[in-house]
Amino acid sequence: MKLITKLLRRHFFEILAVCLIAGSLFFFKETLDYLARRDYIAALLVMVIGVAVISVGKEMARLALVQRD
């Protein structure tokens, strides 16, 4: 039971990490769109969101790796 919980937890962290890292690309694409519209403040804010989301994804990937050990 403990093993199954650990396995599920690991896959949950892995899927979450992939979703967050892939999802951060959306924010970077939005950054480019805002830059094309010359809305520099919005572009900067969305870029900060993208970097923050990718950091959260990285932490999730780290936790998934620990579950693997």
- Per CB under 8 A, residues contacting another protein are 41-42, 45-46, 48-49, 52-53, 55-56, 59-60, 62-63, 65-66, 69
User: Toward another protein, which CB reaches closer, 7 or 65?
Assistant: 65
Question: Minimum distance from CB of 14 to another protein (Å)?
Answer: 14
Q: Residue 45 has which token pair?
A: 């804010």
- Burial class of residue 18 in the structure, from the number of CB atoms within 10 Å of its CB (0-12 exposed, 13-18 middle, 19+ buried): middle
Q: How many CB atoms within 10 Å of residue 46?
A: 21
Question: Minimum distance from CB of 3 to another protein (Å)?
Answer: 16
